[in-house]
Amino acid sequence: MEIRIATDEDWPSIYPFYSAIMAEGRTYAFPEGQSLDGAKPWWMEQPPGRTVVAVVDGGIVGSAKMGPNKPGRGSHIGTGSFLVDPAHQGKGIGRRLGEYVIEWSREQGFRGIQFNAVVEVNEPAVHLWKSLGFEVVGTAPLAFDHPDAGLVGQHMMFRPL
């Protein structure tokens, strides 16, 4: 698996699984029904952030975006968001993307990484982030309207660097 910086030419390959994941409504509170052009700014980060893709056998199977969690006095803490094509989940792609984001954030001089909204019933994600050294530092109850579980909490997770 190769992880490399995403280009504008990669977006049409990312969009189908971005769109499918957003339509499922289980992990992100992004707008639904976004077009190819409308969704692009929601995922393709501009500097100082970065978007990367995971490539297997020449095909894009996942993506992550990363950068400062907040501007100004919050810019010493990084953040990240992750997508793995549903057809390729369970193969370690999310872990590799997570490791990439941790290393990149360390190289950029961030003091920690904060995930602002991990859906508490997204057990694979919660398990993965805990295994990579993140801990739940708080949960906003009823903050996410999950299509199966109803109103559930969103974890804030943190990892010092």
pLDDT tens per residue, range 4-56: 999 999 999 999 999 999 999 999 999 989 999 999 999 999 999 999 999 99
Query: 27, 21 in Cβ contact below 8 A?
Result: yes
What is the spatial distance between Cα 158 and Cα 161, in angstroms, rounded to a whole number? 10
Residues facing residue 83 across a β-bridge: 63
| Cα 87 to the center of its chain, rounded Å | 17
| Amino acid in position 38 | G
For the whole model, what pTM was predicted? 0.96
What is the spatial distance between Cα 106 and Cα 94, in angstroms, rounded to a whole number? 18
pLDDT digits (tens, 9 = 90+) for 99-108: 999 999 999 9
Dihedral angle of Cα 67, 103, 40, 53, to the nearest 10 degrees: 170
